[in-house]
Structure 1
């Protein structure tokens, strides 16, 4: 009799990574995804018939993804075309011009100096050096290891390196430490914004998270075809290794016996026996009983106060005027503290910072669209993760859109200039939509917020309290973002392999090519 497959619930980046690696090791794998395509948060939605990226847009840590393809018996270059960006992002404030950062740190330092003076350039260099030092301390002992607790982390770093532990500055807020490097409040805003990459406030996160800035300085790549091309490539590799994908297959229950996991049940009523399940969903869904009351002990439900940020996300077709755009652009609010205080109070900011991904613009600002045609944009404003308790009305959506457009205009960009034959066309995705798409999160897009020194240790790891049940995805250790979600998938696959060996489940062998099987349909969300 053939061995029961490992079942992966969800075809997000973490689940796809686990599927590709496990299948390359000869483990039979079935992926069950409730949507109609792979990707999870990496997805596209249509505006007037045009697909627009609606998920992550920044691709970093290329070696992580390269290693995953190699472990799956493939080559990244055979599946994706990547172009390294010379210009990382453009940052704008009302009335004070704009500042570009570059892949070359010295070029960035020169740009900072021209923007804010020689002292600011020196501050950028000292900040970059500290961020690199923190990253170097934590990369292998923490980011690439299964969930370490503080004593375990001390052992991994080295008990003799007490100074290194203090150097990661876990007990000081990032906003405070940024003041040691930058007098200019605009630069504190710019480098504080990196904490929003993991859905957190710079006023509450430890200074340790300045390592995110170093990650970006190590390289940002554009993927031909957008981020969905990465999801499709991982799926293709997994299929080649024999993984079965079933779309429109919503899992409603995970079942256990005295020995651990015993199977899953679909919305259609179909039961699939298995002894190992990787849940590529927010672990809070387990703790909230989404997959069955008996699964609540697998993970703790996430309290509303602990949720990371959600977002208001506009997908738009527009003809921009004003400030020249590059691919990644940030338009800052005049009062960062007020902005995050409003979010903390449960409100979308009235004068928000807005991130604009000009999808048809290369890093130098040239549009890939024909002259005069509408271009594609994804615009993000941070919002509270209250989508399960607050339904955004049409009036609120209109007001949020008006506030966002006012911020862009204040910084010199108009996406809906008067007199245009075709006004801006858009659709807006709210925390309510994200809450529906990702159950038990309230729309939190990054799992648990990274607030306080212990937050990183409170994020669930790949193993749960139930034998044979594992977690992967951006809400698990090591954290949010495409490369981190991929690392979580790697850690989950290593845990499955280790446990199969220790319990004599594991039998290496070849598996025939995979297939995609339709199952019970589910309604699209977002």
Structure 2
């Protein structure tokens, strides 16, 4: 039995209306709690925010949506459905990869389509290897999901479950690069199933093979896009929470927490004092610990993931060979990860993600225009250039990035830009993200599972953390789970839907103790 918040928990204040906070709010509402959500920004979303400029509707955060059933769990908690609120489009292909030799590969989530693609790209031996890899990824996911991903930890002893033996037998504690190499030999294909470790802040040569579960989410479970952009998801979650009775307060930054002994008794914002029985904190770890008044002691300091430079570019033209998501790989690979995670240099031969959301939803740009999101991983501010250095570096890096894209087939991109926004580690740091990284604490072994910063911080009896810095970690699916797990720390766990529990307006649930 995992630990829960002791004492009364009738009214919960959730700090932050990002994906984790909104997921927590919906699960809490479903368990009969009264919920107030306070958000510093003028709209929901957090990292998954929205910037509108001259008819361009720009998603400021994640662009890849996988495992949508985890979002649906949050809607279902209040008797609603994700698909009733959000029009989800499956992306076919999930990605297109362009390699340094000019070759192109479409990444399909359908097994037969991908097997045929791999055979045409690299031959029958690699196609057979892909089939074996896919089966391994499916087994790996089943071994991890219940006990390692969708789970609250109070002690490393909780790892001693039958699924731990299954995970070990599957090679989950070996190295990702080596494990993928057991199935695939073509270096280009190996990158498709290992680049995801960058999300976890670890090079494929150093990452646990267990992190191939991220490749499962991308290449097996499917990639989706909400019409209206990724921001449509937190917007719909906020609407569902409001319909279920949540009090949503925007443009209300939290200044401090009032305490009595080891309990938080009120959340104080710029405009109000909100008494509460419990609080869910979703800001990045340094901000959450500052509000709590203390940070947990660790044997070694937290190590943070690499950061990213993002160029949002509204253009008067596009390049037909681009898919919705296109991975542009440089020739270098191990060197790139050394630069990002060891030496702190900007990528000398960058691998980039280019997302063109107007491929799927043209309404995100003015008629005849296009929107491109260009993500370039870079070192965080503790390892690489500081926030202050990015002031002078940003325009030079933008110029070199556009020149590299021009060489890789996006010819004339610099002159095609009509509207733009450049986001650097300095901007992430100004938003409160530690080390200037929106990806928070890296998923090293010492910062994973029961060793990751706990969502029940010591010293405060009725505060719970949610978001990418705590359990289970970085990424849209895991952040949604973090909200669910935070709510379970307060309610004691998810409750099955009871017929007749809904009354009044759509999704509104009777208030009853859980």
> Above 0.5 in TM-score?
yes
Partner of 1:331: 328
1:428 match: secondary structure: strand
Partner of 1:360: 358
Partner of 2:28: 22
TM-aligned CA distance change 1:510 to 1:263, over 3 Å: farther
Range with bigger deviation, 57-66 or 385-394: 385-394
TM-aligned CA distance change 1:371 to 1:6, over 3 Å: closer
Q: CA deviation at 1:511?
A: 10
Contact 1:31–1:244 (8 Å) recurs in 2: yes
TM-aligned CA distance change 1:272 to 1:336, over 3 Å: same
Write the distance in 1 (CA, Å) between the matches of 2:358 and 2:137: 31
Write the distance in 1 (CA, Å) between the matches of 2:10 and 2:96: 51
1:477-488 superposed matches below 5 A: 477-488=471-482
Write the distance in 2 (CA, Å) between the matches of 1:123 and 1:151: 36
Count how many residue pairs are aligned between Structure 1 and Structure 2.
490
Write the distance in 1 (CA, Å) between the matches of 2:418 and 2:337: 28
Write the distance in 2 (CA, Å) between the matches of 1:25 and 1:321: 48
Write the distance in 2 (CA, Å) between the matches of 1:284 and 1:473: 12
Write the distance in 1 (CA, Å) between the matches of 2:367 and 2:326: 21
1:373 and 2:398 are equivalent in the alignment: no
Partner of 2:241: 238
Contact 1:116–1:184 (8 Å) recurs in 2: yes
1:224-263 superposed matches below 5 A: 224-263=227-266
**1:428-481 superposed Cα distances (whole Å, 9 cap, x missing partner):** 101111111134x12222222112376333222432222100011122212222
1:450 and 2:443 are equivalent in the alignment: yes
Q: CA deviation at 1:41?
A: 0.6
1:431 and 2:422 are equivalent in the alignment: no
Write the distance in 1 (CA, Å) between the matches of 2:54 and 2:348: 28
Structure 1 alignment gaps of length 5 or more = 502-507, 515-526
Partner of 2:144: 138
2:428 match: secondary structure: helix
TM-aligned CA distance change 1:154 to 1:74, over 3 Å: same
1:405 and 2:413 are equivalent in the alignment: no
Write the distance in 1 (CA, Å) between the matches of 2:145 and 2:93: 25
1:296 match: secondary structure: coil
Of 190, 193, 196, which aligns to 2:195? 193
TM-aligned CA distance change 1:482 to 1:371, over 3 Å: closer
TM-aligned CA distance change 1:214 to 1:302, over 3 Å: same
Contact 1:11–1:32 (8 Å) recurs in 2: yes
Contact 1:450–1:456 (8 Å) recurs in 2: no
Q: CA deviation at 1:407?
A: 3.4
1:181 match: secondary structure: coil
Aligned-residue CA RMSD in angstroms? 3.1
1:286 match: secondary structure: helix
Write the distance in 1 (CA, Å) between the matches of 2:299 and 2:252: 24
Partner of 1:311: 308
Contact 1:10–1:279 (8 Å) recurs in 2: yes
Range with bigger deviation, 401-410 or 131-140: 401-410
Q: CA deviation at 1:369?
A: 8.3
Write the distance in 2 (CA, Å) between the matches of 1:233 and 1:487: 17
1:460 match: secondary structure: coil
1:396 and 2:393 are equivalent in the alignment: yes
Q: CA deviation at 1:16?
A: 0.6
Q: CA deviation at 1:114?
A: 1.5
Contact 2:97–2:105 (8 Å) recurs in 1: yes
**1:391-421 superposed Cα distances (whole Å, 9 cap, x missing partner):** 244542233223323433343233516xx6x
1:236 match: secondary structure: helix
TM-aligned CA distance change 1:302 to 1:323, over 3 Å: farther
Range with bigger deviation, 2-11 or 65-74: 2-11
Contact 1:175–1:207 (8 Å) recurs in 2: yes
TM-aligned CA distance change 1:322 to 1:237, over 3 Å: closer
Partner of 2:381: 386
Write the distance in 2 (CA, Å) between the matches of 1:511 and 1:488: 29
Write the distance in 2 (CA, Å) between the matches of 1:244 and 1:43: 20
1:484-503 superposed matches below 5 A: 484-498=478-492
Write the distance in 2 (CA, Å) between the matches of 1:90 and 1:83: 17
Partner of 1:206: 208
**1:103-152 superposed Cα distances (whole Å, 9 cap, x missing partner):** 21221122122112222222222222221111110111122111264431
Q: CA deviation at 1:367?
A: 6.3
Write the distance in 1 (CA, Å) between the matches of 2:438 and 2:299: 15
Write the distance in 1 (CA, Å) between the matches of 2:300 and 2:354: 30
1:467 and 2:454 are equivalent in the alignment: no
Range with bigger deviation, 318-327 or 386-395: 386-395
Partner of 2:5: none
Structure 2 alignment gaps of length 5 or more = 1-7, 496-500, 508-514
1:65-144 superposed matches below 5 A: 65-144=71-150
2:387 match: secondary structure: coil
Q: CA deviation at 1:21?
A: 2.1
1:360 match: secondary structure: helix
Range with bigger deviation, 119-128 or 6-15: 119-128
Q: CA deviation at 1:359?
A: 1.0
Contact 1:321–1:415 (8 Å) recurs in 2: no
